[in-house]
Chain A
Amino acid sequence: MSKPDQPATRDDASDRAKPRGASAGGAQPAVTRSGNAAGSRWPRLFAHSARQLGTFGGLIGLGLVLWILTPHFLTVSNLLNIAQQTSINAIIAVGLTFVIINGGIDLSVGSIVAFSGVVMASLLERAVPVPIAVLAGLGAGSLCGLINGVLISFGRLPPFIATLGMMSVARGGALLYSDGRPISGFGEGFRWLATGEVAWIPVPILLMIAVYVVAHFVLRRTPFGRYVFAIGGNEEAALLSGVPVRRYKTLVYGASGLLSGLAAVVLTARLNSAQPIAGISYELDAIAATVIGGTSLMGGQGSVVGTLIGALIMGVLRNGLNLLGVSSFVQQLVIGAVIILAVLMDMTFKRPKR
């Protein structure tokens, strides 16, 4: 039982005491005296993004500290560097944000990166045109994701189990397909996807921005996005409201696989090599970015904007600790602590007062 006697609805009786009149047309103001704030548009926008403002504040604060501590932090080249390094995690995290809002989890993203990478690289090695190889990589990722989706929505497997299985299957597939060896050395055309620039902005950053713009639009302005929230919030109610739950659940995991495939493209181009052991623990980074960004693991709530900020916080933190010469062991520890702290603060904000 959450809060049946909510303050917001308290003047029921006084309102009802008024004469009824023609009930359908009698458009009484539905806003109650307590609702003056939350009802209008601005506070809503504020309430909606209050959590994001907090996270964004954290990012800015982190930047300020690093700016004071090291002169190398706030330079154009370093910032572009951070954005570029963040791009892979940020792209994967979009898929995870969809999956988590939808009430699931995807542990297989890192393995799918490796699998998509070797599939694409093997085609490039055989001189298949770059666009076709890239499409094949994206297709391999989507296929893995769709299999996840079918297992979860039609096979009724818990997402944790299905994607845990896929995590191993895709990794094994990558190792088998490549015989355990990295595939390296690609043409300039392909490598441009990581090294190229458009208007002085590196291509991976542009890809990342494009992904976020599209994802934000899909989530906020399409029926698909609305259904992702509704299914994550209450699957049964969504089903009984006519939402084709299984179709959309499948698509969500497909999207996550597709975005892992895209991350594989960027990673392979940057390293000039596709490795079957690439992407290990990427799922954890992506989940971390999503959670720091305020998406609820319970489903039904979250945003990709938050996730972008979350991914950037992780990127800035890594970069800053590197600049400060902090050992990678300590870095692990600090990042873990930040994840815990972010969620702890979130919970404290949301917890109702006694």
Chain B
Amino acid sequence: MNAPSPVLSLRGIRKAFPGVIALDGVDLDLQAGEVHVLLGENGAGKSTLMKIISGAVARDSGDIVIEGVPVELTGPRHAQELGIGIIYQEFNLVPHLTAAENILLGREPKLFPGVIDQRRLVREAQQQLDDLGVALAATERVSRLSVAQQQMVEVAKALSLNARVLIMDEPTSALTTQEITELFDAIRRLKKRGVAIVYISHRMEELFAIGDRVTVLRDGRHVGTRAIGETTMTELVRLMVGRDLTEHFPKRQAAIGEEILRVEALRRNGILHDVSLSLRRGEVVGLAGLMGSGRTELARAIFGADRIDGGQIFVHGKPCAVRSPRDAIALGIGFLTEDRKQQGLVLVLSVQENICLPSVSRLARAGCTQPARETEMTAQRIAELRIKTPGPHQRVMNLSGGNQQKVVLAKWLCTEADILIFDEPTRGIDVGSKVEIYQLINQLAARGAAILMISSELPEIVGLSDRILVMNGGRIAGEFTAAEATQEKLLAAALGKN
């Protein structure tokens, strides 16, 4: 790099939690105006490192040097004052306040003490947004903004604090392709202003699009820093995982059998328009489409989570009324939701309680739960899915993302569902866990389940599906066989260009 003295450098950062070393002597240098990608599997120590930089967690040993001066961070506020901003996946915005009020929250310009200068507030906030190149009125309420716009409000907030280092944790995980392009434009503007950006993402293709350098962490250790131009995806994956992932999309040998689910002319007013599809035994059907195209809504309608206004669902050839998730589960349908924390898991309950939740009443004898059977069932799934947990009674909130996702999967395996709807099954989880989930999807198909997989990652859809449906505006806009599907064709169909 050209600039010799880094904005921020970390030397030998160490942090131990009870029973485990989260970070073991990590070094990191951030140069002004660079996008520094931080890679690592879930549990590699990325989040802990970011929390240390942003003052949320205290380190055990090591040095934090900001522009040549060693500092002792006392808390997030202190880090902010030193010019370190962080944007978490879950935003810290007050929904009912305007963008301007959020951007300058706690630092409102005053007319005189105790009275806010509303005009200056809006003007200053608008300036920040304009500088970022965001077309957004500062007077808009945050609750009315899209996820991407809210994210820009967060960025503007960090910048109004004169952030020289900006940490972005999975900034694209909830954005559409178009929004990602806009985010990258904003990031490039920040680079020109000399802001150093730490960029955390599981999406490998993004780091080649936006990154300058990449640092890989594994098991709390720094395993390498590379300039983006001098590395390859294969090398990075090997650094992260510690081995080569040869079969990214393992092929399955499954015989496709009879139809087990058929949906005819499913309709939800204003949302789904006459959607028909069928799933056969042993088949993986990919469901592609842009955000808001109705994919999740379709899944929820089939699963009985939302009321439908018309259409018919046939399971094993018989017409069925699916009025609630309970009905759907009884028919052998399972639904792995997109948002595992909000919809998939009860975070305060244990691994076992979560895995057994849909099966509790089926397992019960004489009105009593059967702890022994539940324990047995859980142990079996923990082993089968390699869920890394200290034990079945660990609270799910303490597990990493990939392992939480496996708990959700285990839940549906226990119900012995043979129609499985997976909504973004690999969102926000690391490469290694992704491949495990792919293998599991294949195994399920091989055992005779029918799988409908919603995903925004086209390589995943193309690599895994036997057949691909594309949605646009609440309709099925295209259907492709695995052989004829390419990412370009799918995207064209998703955009409605046929």
* A residues neighboring B (CB under 8 Å): 1-17, 23-24, 26-28, 30-40, 44, 221-223, 225-227, 229-230, 233-234, 236-244, 300-301, 354
> In the complex the two chains form, what is the Cα distance from A225 to B368 in whole Å?
10
Are A38 and B393 interface neighbours, CB within 8 A? yes
Most buried by B among A1, A225, A229: A1
Known: A5-B22, A31-B390, A244-B326. A222 touches B367 (CB 8 A): yes
- Chain B neighbourhood of A237, CB < 8 A: 342-346, 357
Q: Which residues of B contact A301 (CB under 8 A)?
A: 348
Distance between Cα atoms of A225 and B400 in the complex (Å): 27
| Bound-complex Cα distance A28 to B386 (A) | 7
| Residue in A9, A227, A234, A300 whose Cβ sees the most chain B Cβ within 10 Å | A9
- A7 touches which one: B18, B329, B347 (CB < 8 A)? B18
Which residues of B lie under 8 Å from residue A34 when comparing CB positions?
18-20, 390
Would B398 and A8 count as touching, CB distance under 8 A?
A: yes
* 0/1 string, B359-370, CB within 8 A of A gives 1: 011001001110
**Chain B CB within 10 Å, residue with most, of A1, A16, A227, A230:** A16
Are A13 and B242 in contact, with the CB atoms below 8 A?
yes
Chain A: minimal CB distance from B308 (Å): 16
Complex Cα spacing A9 to B433, Å: 13
A13→B241 contact, CB < 8 A? yes
Q: Which residues of A contact B18 (CB under 8 A)?
A: 7, 34
Q: Which of B169, B241, B345 contacts A16 (CB 8 A)?
A: B241
Give chain B interface residues in 69-107, CB to chain A under 8 Å: 75, 88-90
Q: Which residues of B contact A27 (CB under 8 A)?
A: 383-384
Contact B390 A10 (CB under 8 A): no
User: Inside 8 A of B379's CB, which chain A residues have their CB?
Assistant: 30
Task: List chain A residues, Cβ under 8 A from B41.
Answer: 12-13
Q: Within the complex, what minimum Cβ distance (angstroms) separates A4 from chain B?
A: 5
Q: Are B43 and A233 in contact (CB under 8 A)?
A: no
Tell me the complex Cα distance, A5–B41, Å.
9
Residues of A with C-beta under 8 A to B463: none
CB distance from B94 to the nearest CB of A (A): 17
How many residues of B are counted as interface, with CB atoms below 8 angstroms from the partner's CB atoms? Answer: 84
A28→B360 CA distance, assembly (Å) = 26
B294 in contact (CB, < 8 A): no
Is B399 close to A, CB under 8 A? Answer: yes
| CA distance in complex: A280, B218 (Å) | 61
29 contacts between A and B (CB under 8 A): A2-B347, A5-B46, A7-B18, A7-B22, A8-B19, A8-B389, A8-B394, A9-B398, A10-B22, A10-B220, A11-B43, A12-B43, A12-B430, A12-B433, A13-B44, A13-B218, A14-B242, A23-B384, A28-B383, A28-B386, A30-B386, A30-B389, A222-B368, A223-B361, A226-B353, A226-B357, A227-B360, A242-B358, A242-B415
* Contact of B256 with A by CB under 8 A: no
Q: B411–A35 contact, CB under 8 A?
A: no
B349 located at the interface, meaning its Cβ lies under 8 Å from any Cβ of chain A in the complex? yes
Top 9 nearest A-B pairs by Cβ distance? Answer: A35-B390, A39-B391, A7-B20, A34-B19, A233-B346, A27-B383, A7-B17, A5-B47, A242-B329
Cβ of A229 and Cβ of B353 under 8 Å apart?
yes
Q: Chain B: which residue is nearest A4 at the CB level?
A: B47
Of the candidates B330, B401, B436, the one whose C-beta lies within 8 Å of that of A4 is B401
Closest chain A CB from B254 CB (angstroms): 15
A300 with B348: CB separation less than 8 A:
yes
In the assembled complex, B278 has its CB within 8 A of some CB on chain A: no
Which positions in B face A, CB cutoff 8 Å? 17-20, 22, 41-48, 56-58, 75, 88-90, 169, 218-220, 240-243, 303, 305, 324-326, 328-330, 335, 337, 342-349, 353, 356-358, 360-361, 364, 367-369, 371, 379, 382-384, 386-391, 393-394, 397-403, 411, 415, 430, 432-433, 436, 439, 443
- State whether A11 touches B219 (Cβ < 8 A): yes
B400 to chain A: which residues have CB within 8 Å?
A: 4-6, 9, 12
Nearest residue (CB) in A for B305 is A240
**CB <8 Å contact, B386 and A15:** yes
Whether the pair B88, A6 counts as a contact (CB closer than 8 A) is no
B293: min CB distance to chain A, Å: 21
Cα A71 to Cα B90 with chains together (Å): 58
Which residues on B sit within 8 Å (CB–CB) of A36?
19, 390
Find out whether the CB atom of A12 lies under 8 angstroms from the CB atom of B388: yes
* Chain B residues whose C-beta falls within 8 Å of the C-beta of A244 in the assembled complex: 324, 326
- Complex: how many Å from CA A57 to CA B426? 46
Q: Specify the chain A residue showing the minimal Cβ separation from B89.
A: A1
Measured CB to CB, the closest approach of chain B to A301, in angstroms, equals: 6
Q: Which of B242, B346, B387, B439 has the most CB of A within 10 A?
A: B346
A7 to B19, CA, bound (A): 8
Cβ of A221: which chain B residues have Cβ within 8 Å of it?
Answer: 368-369, 371
**Which has the most chain A C-beta neighbours within 10 Å: B219, B330, B364, B400?**
B400
Bound-complex Cα distance A83 to B364 (A): 35
Q: Is the CB of B411 within 8 A of A222?
A: no
**Contact, CB under 8 Å: B325 / A39:** no
Q: How far is the CB of A298 from chain B (nearest CB, A)?
A: 8
Q: Which residue of B lies closest to A6 (CB)?
A: B398
Is the beta-carbon distance between B364 and A222 smaller than 8 angstroms? Answer: yes
**Complex contact B349–A300 (CB within 8 A):** yes
A10 CA / B19 CA spacing, docked (Å)? 11
A230 proximity list for chain B (CB < 8 A): 346, 349, 353, 357
Nearest A-chain residue to B393, judged by Cβ: A44
With both beta carbons as reference points, the residue of chain B lying nearest to A229 in the complex is identified as B349
Question: From A19, which residue of chain B is reached at the shortest CB distance?
Answer: B243
Q: Would B368 and A5 count as touching, CB distance under 8 A?
A: no
With a cutoff of 8 Å between Cβ atoms, the chain B residues found around residue A11 in the complex are 43, 219, 388
**In the complex, A229 Cα to B379 Cα: how many Å?**
22
What residues on B are CB-neighbors of A30 within 8 Å?
379, 382-383, 386-389, 391
Inter-chain CA distance A8–B20, complex, in Å, is 7
Question: Which residue of B has the minimal Cβ distance to A354?
Answer: B58
Beyond the given A4-B401, A239-B305, could you list 5 further A-B residue pairs with CB under 8 A, ordered by the A residue number? A5-B42, A12-B42, A30-B386, A38-B394, A44-B393
